[in-house]
Structure formats: C-alpha cells, structure tokens
C-alpha cells in the first residue's frame, strides 16, 4: 500500500532513531543467528563424522557377511566331495569295486567340476587314476573267483541237474548218474537258476565298460573260459566206474549250460559264434578221449553200455541247447559197433554178406542165447583139450584118432543131453513171443554146430571131428514150433471166449408194437435182414487185429513157420466158430444171428485176403474159412435148390465145402427158431416153415443112414 509520509525534522530524527534501534536489533539477532548456525554446523559436522564412521563399519560388515556366505557355499560344495571321497575309500576297503566305481564317476564328473582348484581337490584328482586301477584289479579278482567257483562243484551240480532232466525225458533211470546225484536227493539246488549267480560277471563287464575296456574284458573272459574248457577235458581222465562217468559228463554238460545261460543274458559277450567254436574244440577233445577209452579201457559190455548211456544223454542235452551233435552221433555208432562186437562177434564169429552190409545198429534175428551157447561149447572144447593134455601126459600119450573120438563123443553128449534137456525144461515156461524167439534161436543153433565143428577141428588141427547137434536141434525146433502153435491156439481161444451170440434174438419181434396192424411192414423188415450185413462183432475185430499185429511183428520167423502158424491160427478160428454154430446145446438160431455170423466170417476172410505173412497166398488162407462161409451163405440166401442139385447130380462148385449133415443140423436149428417164434407173424412164419420142412426131407435122403439130427 502506498503510504504518504510527511517527513519533518523531528519525525526524521525519530525515524533515524528507530532505524538505529532496528539496526541494533538486527545485529543482535544476526549475531545470535550466527551463533546458532555455527552451533548447528558444528553439530551437523559431528553427526556427519559419526555417519561416515558408521558407513565404514557397515561396509566392512557387509564384506564380512559376503565373505561368510562365500565360505559357506564353498563348504557346501566341498562337503559332498569329501563325503564321496570318504565313501570311495570305504568301498575300496570293503572290496566293492562296482559301487566304488559308481562313486568315483560321480566324484570325478559331477562334484569336482563344481569346485575351484583347491589344494585338496587337486590331490583327489591326482588320486583318482590310481583308485580306478585298483577298481579294475579288484573286479578282475572277483571275476577270477567266479571262474574258479563255476569250474568246480557248482558247474558239476548244474550239469547233473541237466542230465537228470534229460534222463527223465528219455525214460532212463537217473540213479545211473552215480554220486553226482546225491546232493539232489536232499533237495539242494533242484533248479539250475538257483545255482547260477552271474552278478560278478555283470559287475565286471559294467566296470570295464565304464573304464572303456569292454572289448578287452570280453576277450579276456572268452580266453579264460576256452582255457578252462580245454583243461577240464585234459585234466579229467575218464575212469572205469559210473561215478567217474557221472562226474565227467556232469562237469562237461554243466560248463556249456552255464555259458548258454550267459548267452541269453549277455549275447554281445557270450556270442553264438563263440559258443559254437568252443563246442567244436571241446567236441574234438572229447572224441579223442572217448575213442581212447573205447580202445584201451573198456573190458566188459556192462561198462560199455553205461558209457553209451552217458554219451546218449550228452547228445540229447546238447542238442536241446542248439549245438551240432553229428560227431556225438558218430561216437554212439562206434560204441554200438563195439558193443555189438563185444556182445555177439567176440562170443560167436557170426558173419554173412547181408549182415555185414547192414548199417549200425546191426540187428541179428537170434538173441544173446546163440552166442552164449557157442562160447560155452567152445569153452567146453578148450577145457576138454586141457584135460586130455594132462591125461595123455600121465598115460603116455593119446593118438589123434582117440582124441577126436573122445572129444566128438563129449561134445555130442553135451548137445544131445545137457543142451536138449535144458531146452525142454525151459520150453514149458515160455510165452508166445519167447517161443517165437526160441524158434529163431534154434534155427541159428544149427549153424552153430557147423562153426563149433570147425572150431574143434582147428584146435585139433585135423578133420576127423563129426558132431550130430543138427539133428538134436531139428527135433528141438519141431517141438518148439508145436508149442508155439498151441500157444497161438490158446490166445485165439481167449479171444473167442469173449464171443456172446444171442441165438434166439429176433429183431422183428423186438421192433413189434401193440398198436395197429404192422404185419406187412414187419414182413418187409424180415426180408431186409437178408439184404445187408451188420458190422462185425467187436471180439472178431479185436481177434483179427491181434493176429495181424502178431504176424507182422514176427518178421524174424522162418517163412515156413510163419506161414504154418498163420494157417493153423485161421483154421482154429474157423473150427471154433463152426463149433459154436454146431454146438448141440444151441437148439435154435435166428436169422439175425446168421447175418451176424456172416459178417464175422467176412471179417475173417478180409484178414486172410490181406495176409500179413509173406509167401502165403491169400486164396490159400481164405480157404480156411470157406466151409462156414458157404454154409452161412447157403442158409441166409435160402439157396437150397442149387445145393440139392449139386449134391444129387454134381458137380460141387458153389457149395463144395458144405457137408449135407452140417447143412441139415443148421437148418434144423433155424426151423426150431421159427417154431418157437410161430405165434408172431404166423402167416409169414408158416410159409417159411413149410419150405424148410420140404428141404429137410430132401436133405435127409442124402445123408448116410437116411437121417440127420
């Protein structure tokens, strides 16, 4: 605001005075303010100094805290390394190379790269290669322990189990495996998988794979197993007992069973090529051992047979694992040849061009009896010669003629009395198959006489020995054949005893009902009975099947004997069937039974047509059933006019085997059946009875004496 001031001198002085006072006050206030500002500045400087000091302390504390965090983090990284290294050393001390290697790999590739190059980490890094080498050596030591263990009892027990399973499948007695089977009897390790622990191999392979030495390890393993296989065969000579056989072959089979199991779990290490090469090398050594055993140490056939059984089990077992066993098959053939020679040829010098050309296993028609008889008689000749040598020395000598006569008489007496009496005594105890074999043996014994005579003359160095054993054995053979024929008849009788014919069975009456007039239909049914044959009886089918199988099996029989036996059997079947029909106790026979008999005799003739005996003409065999066949055909077809014409005027062609008396007997039985069933279908039956009576009267005139009953 504008103020109008009027200044005068008094006022001016007053104003100046006021201004001076104001100035004084301003100065006073300024001094006071200056002091306060100086005080505040001093105080601010003090605070700033303290703040600077605190900031320095704060910075130092932050650095310390940072250093602590860094130290803690470093310690956290170092502790797993130290812990892993400590665990690594402990695992090495406990001989756990596989676990130690896993720890080493984690330490080297996962933990140590996280740390700066501390002094202790550098020391650990320098230690790791040495530890890695220790791990490799420890794993190889564990593998060596495994190889030693699997080469011993464990592998043998595995092989024994495999052979036992093969023996059970082949139907052989496992007890022949000897002492190697004893642990199995107590339930120890009845399963192969329970006996095999391949973990050392797995661990060692993994360790060498990690170490980058997988190929080296695989080659090392294969070399070791090849060496073990060779040493197993070379250091395990075959003994002369079953126990030694069992141990040897169980060890051999067990070795390859172990490798086969490894092949299925580690095919890249135990390859099929390696196994085949290993098997071929082992088989070559085994072949040499077996052939040496065959040529040097097997003295008797029992030992040879036991040996052959083990080779056979080896063949079956190794073939089941996919190995080629052609050489083993050749060994078995060689053993069969040696066994045959030991069983037959060493006892009896039998030979023929046909027999020599046969492949092994050779089979003779005769049994072991023939070589034993020859060897026993040859031994008797040797003992007689020894006796005469001693006796002649005491008596001053014996001429060759006297010696020949004495020796011939002794051998002939042996054959004529001792052998013949033993034969006859044994003959009554034999069954049909044994009788058939005995016939073959006796025929072969006739040749034995010739060879025994030649052997005796060779020992005497003269040709004056004459043996009469052939006549003895011919008589024995005739008696044996007679017994065989009777046994065949007994077997036939047993089968025929199962025959059950319902002689009075009438299918027309069985199908009759009480409702309505069915006479025409039933008469038609009676005519239909003659138009088709029923199936043969079960017992006839069984009997023919038995005869066929019997004569097919007896291939070693002399042809004449087989033909005679078959013909006698067929004739006996016919006689028994005819006897059933003509049995006086059977008073009536119905048409249904006649048809059944016709079917049965047709089945017999079908067997005869397909004769199982070579050289026997079917027509000849069919004639054995012709009489009953013609008789049944005559009655069933009611062909009496033809029969009467043949009997009265001749010639007999269609019914040449039927006698008038048997025709009358059968027709009377048919008439009796019609008489008993006369109340049923009377008209139809009455016509038949009249025709039957007329035929009977005509037939009786042809029977000697005029009657037939």
- CATH code for position 553: 1.20.58.670
pLDDT, position 646? 80
115 assigned to some structural domain: no
pLDDT, position 568? 92
388 assigned to some structural domain: yes
Residue with tokens 């008094």: 10
574 assigned to some structural domain: yes
502 and 428 in one domain?
no
pLDDT at 23 exceeding the cut of 80:
yes
472 and 502 in one domain?
no
559 and 684 in one domain?
yes
| CA–CA gap between residue 114 and residue 130 (Å, rounded) | 22
306 and 252 in one domain?
yes
pLDDT at 346 exceeding the cut of 60:
no
265 and 148 in one domain?
yes
Cβ atoms of 550 and 570 closer than 8 Å? no
| CA–CA gap between residue 80 and residue 535 (Å, rounded) | 95
393 and 338 in one domain?
no
Domain hosting residue 618, numbered range? 498-507+536-702
479 and 549 in one domain?
no
pLDDT, position 578? 92
Q: Which residue has the higher pLDDT, 184 or 105?
A: 105
Alpha carbon of 166 to those of 258, 322, 536: distances in Å?
Answer: 16, 14, 46
Cβ atoms of 424 and 438 closer than 8 Å? no
400 and 338 in one domain?
no
pLDDT, position 399? 65
Using the 3D structure, point to which of 346, 378, 401 is the last residue of a domain: 346
Q: What digits encode the pLDDT tens for the residues 293-338? A: 776 655 566 677 777 788 888 888 888 888 888 878 777 777 666 6
How many structural domains are present in the chain?
A: 3
Handedness of CA 420, 422, 425, 431 (dihedral sign): negative
End-to-end CA distance of the chain: 191
pLDDT, position 236? 65
Kindly state the average pLDDT of the residues 164-174. Answer: 76
pLDDT at 554 exceeding the cut of 80:
no
When mean pLDDT is compared across 61-75, 209-223, 257-271, 455-469, the lowest value belongs to: 455-469
The two three-digit tokens of residue 379, written as one number: 């031994």
255 assigned to some structural domain: yes
376 and 329 in one domain?
no
Look over the chain and give the mean of its residue pLDDT values, rounded to a whole number.
79
Cβ atoms of 531 and 517 closer than 8 Å? no
pLDDT, position 366? 74
311 assigned to some structural domain: yes
* Res. 542 pLDDT band, cuts 50 70 90: very high
Within 10 A of 327 (CB to CB), how many other CB atoms are there?
Answer: 16
The two three-digit tokens of residue 466, written as one number: 């004459």
Cβ atoms of 471 and 506 closer than 8 Å? no
pLDDT at 182 exceeding the cut of 50:
no
The two three-digit tokens of residue 414, written as one number: 């042996």
| CA–CA gap between residue 640 and residue 698 (Å, rounded) | 10
- Looking at 235-300, list the stretches that DSSP marks H as alpha helix, in order from N- to C-terminal side: 242-265, 272-296
The two three-digit tokens of residue 122, written as one number: 């550098």
Burial class (CB in 10 A: 0-12, 13-18, 19+), 289: middle
When mean pLDDT is compared across 196-200, 202-206, 222-226, 240-244, the lowest value belongs to: 240-244
Q: What digits encode the pLDDT tens for the residues 380-390? A: 888 887 777 65
Q: Which residues of 425-453 are buried (b: 16+ CB within 10 A; e: fewer)?
A: eebeebebebbbbbbbbbbbbbbbbebbb
Chain-centre distance for alpha carbon 205: 36
CA-nearest of 357, 355, 332, 330 to 345 is 355
pLDDT at 684 exceeding the cut of 60:
no
* Res. 512 pLDDT band, cuts 50 70 90: very low
362 assigned to some structural domain: no
pLDDT at 516 exceeding the cut of 50:
no
Handedness of CA 6, 7, 10, 15 (dihedral sign): positive
674 and 543 in one domain?
yes
Kindly state the average pLDDT of the residues 260-280. Answer: 90
Q: Which residue has the higher pLDDT, 270 or 702?
A: 270
pLDDT, position 299? 53
599 assigned to some structural domain: yes
382 and 340 in one domain?
no
83 assigned to some structural domain: no
When mean pLDDT is compared across 95-99, 174-178, 619-623, the lowest value belongs to: 174-178
pLDDT at 575 exceeding the cut of 90:
yes
* Res. 514 pLDDT band, cuts 50 70 90: very low
Cβ atoms of 597 and 577 closer than 8 Å? yes
Q: Which residue has the higher pLDDT, 464 or 510?
A: 464
When mean pLDDT is compared across 20-24, 159-163, 368-372, the lowest value belongs to: 368-372
Q: What percent of the chain has pLDDT over 70?
A: 82
432-460 vs 420-427: helix crossing angle, rounded to 10? 170
Alpha carbon of 384 to those of 412, 598, 659: distances in Å?
Answer: 13, 65, 64
Using the 3D structure, point to which of 285, 315, 346 is the last residue of a domain: 346
Kindly state the average pLDDT of the residues 76-84. Answer: 83
pLDDT at 515 exceeding the cut of 90:
no
pLDDT at 530 exceeding the cut of 70:
no
Cβ atoms of 536 and 599 closer than 8 Å? yes
Using the 3D structure, point to which of 346, 378, 400 is the last residue of a domain: 346
558 and 479 in one domain?
no
pLDDT at 524 exceeding the cut of 50:
no
| CA–CA gap between residue 705 and residue 515 (Å, rounded) | 50
Kindly state the average pLDDT of the residues 422-446. Answer: 82
pLDDT, position 606? 92
Cβ atoms of 670 and 589 closer than 8 Å? yes
Cβ atoms of 654 and 493 closer than 8 Å? no
Q: Which residue has the higher pLDDT, 530 or 592?
A: 592
Query: What secondary structure does DSSP assign to 46-93, as a single string?
Result: HHHHHHHHHHHHHHHHHHHHHHHHHHHHHHHHHHHHHHHHHHHHHHHH
Query: What secondary structure does DSSP assign to 182-212, as a single string?
Result: HHHHTTTT-SHHHH---HHHHHHHHHHHHTT
Residue with tokens 């077996």: 290
pLDDT, position 517? 45
Q: Which residue has the higher pLDDT, 498 or 4?
A: 498
The two three-digit tokens of residue 510, written as one number: 């069985």
Q: Does the pTM of the predicted model rise above 0.85?
A: no
């Amino acid at each position: 605001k504008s103020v109008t001031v009027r200044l005068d001198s008094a006022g001016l002085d007053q104003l100046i005075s006021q201004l001076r006072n104001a100035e004084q006050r301003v100065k006073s206030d300024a001094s006071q303010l200056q002091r306060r500002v100086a005080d505040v500045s001093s105080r601010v400087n003090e605070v700033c100094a303290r703040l600077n000091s605190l900031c320095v302390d704060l910075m130092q504390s932050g650095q310390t805290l940072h250093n602590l965090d860094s130290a803690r983090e470093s310690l956290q990284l170092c502790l797993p390394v130290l812990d892993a290294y400590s665990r690594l050393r402990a695992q090495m001390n406990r001989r756990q190379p596989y676990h130690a290697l896993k720890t080493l790999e984690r330490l080297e590739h996962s933990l140590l790269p996280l740390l700066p190059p501390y002094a202790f980490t550098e020391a650990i890094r320098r230690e790791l290669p040495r530890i890695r080498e220790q791990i490799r050596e420890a794993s190889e030591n564990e593998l060596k322990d495994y190889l030693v263990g699997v080469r011993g009892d464990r592998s043998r027990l595995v092989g024994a189990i495999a052979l036992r399973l093969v023996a059970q499948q082949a139907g052989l007695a496992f007890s022949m495996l000897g002492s190697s089977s004893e642990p199995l009897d107590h339930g120890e390790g009845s399963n192969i998988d329970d006996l095999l622990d391949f973990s050392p191999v797995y661990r060692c392979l993994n360790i060498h794979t990690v170490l980058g030495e997988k190929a080296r390890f695989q080659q090392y393993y294969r070399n070791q197993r090849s060496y073990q296989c060779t040493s197993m065969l070379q250091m395990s000579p075959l003994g002369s007992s079953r126990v030694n056989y069992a141990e040897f072959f169980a060890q051999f089979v067990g070795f390859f069973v172990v490798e086969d199991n490894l092949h299925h779990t580690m095919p890249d290490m135990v390859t099929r090529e390696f196994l085949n090469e290993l098997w071929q090398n082992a088989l070559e050594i085994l072949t040499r051992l077996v052939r040496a055993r065959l040529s040097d140490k097997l003295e008797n056939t029992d030992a040879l047979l036991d040996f052959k059984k083990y080779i056979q089990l080896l063949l079956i077992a190794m073939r089941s694992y996919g190995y080629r066993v052609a050489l083993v098959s050749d060994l078995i053939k060689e053993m069969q040849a040696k066994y045959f020679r030991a069983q037959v040829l060493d006892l009896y010098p039998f030979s023929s061009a046909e027999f020599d050309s046969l492949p092994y296993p050779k089979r003779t028609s005769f049994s072991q009896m023939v070589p034993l008889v020859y060897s026993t008689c040859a031994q008797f000749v040797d003992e007689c010669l020894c006796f005469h040598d001693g006796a002649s020395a005491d008596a001053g000598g014996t001429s060759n003629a006297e010696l020949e006569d004495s020796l011939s008489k002794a051998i002939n007496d042996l054959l004529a009395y001792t052998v013949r009496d033993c034969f006859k005594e044994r003959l009554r105890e034999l069954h049909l198959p044994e009788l058939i074999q005995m016939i073959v043996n006796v025929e072969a014994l006739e040749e034995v006489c010739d060879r025994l005579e030649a052997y005796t003359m060779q020992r005497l160095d003269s040709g004056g020995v004459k043996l009469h054993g052939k006549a003895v054995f011919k008589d024995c053979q005739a008696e044996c054949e007679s017994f065989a024929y009777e046994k065949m008849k007994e077997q036939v009788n047993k089968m025929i005893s199962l025959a059950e014919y319902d002689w009075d069975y009438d299918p027309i009456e069985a199908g009759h009902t009480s409702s309505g007039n069915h006479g025409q239909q039933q008469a038609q049914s009676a005519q239909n009975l003659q138009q088709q044959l029923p199936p043969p009886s079960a017992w006839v089918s069984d009997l023919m099947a038995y005869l066929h199988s019997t004569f097919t099996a007896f291939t070693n029989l002399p042809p004449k004997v087989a033909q005679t036996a078959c013909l006698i059997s067929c004739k006996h079947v016919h006689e028994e069937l005819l006897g059933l029909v003509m049995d006086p106790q059977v008073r009536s026979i119905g048409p249904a039974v006649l048809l059944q008999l016709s079917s049965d005799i047709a089945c017999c003739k079908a067997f005869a047509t397909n004769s199982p005996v070579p050289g026997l003409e079917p027509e000849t065999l069919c004639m054995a059933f012709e009489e009953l066949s013609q008789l049944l055909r005559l009655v069933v077809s009611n062909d009496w006019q033809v029969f009467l014409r043949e009997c009265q005027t001749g010639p007999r062609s269609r019914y040449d085997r039927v006698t008038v008396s048997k025709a009358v007997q059968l027709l009377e039985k048919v008439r009796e059946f019609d008489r008993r069933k006369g109340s049923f279908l009377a008209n139809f039956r009455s016509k038949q009875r009249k025709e039957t009576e007329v035929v009977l009267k005509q037939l009786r005139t042809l029977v000697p004496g005029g009657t037939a009953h």
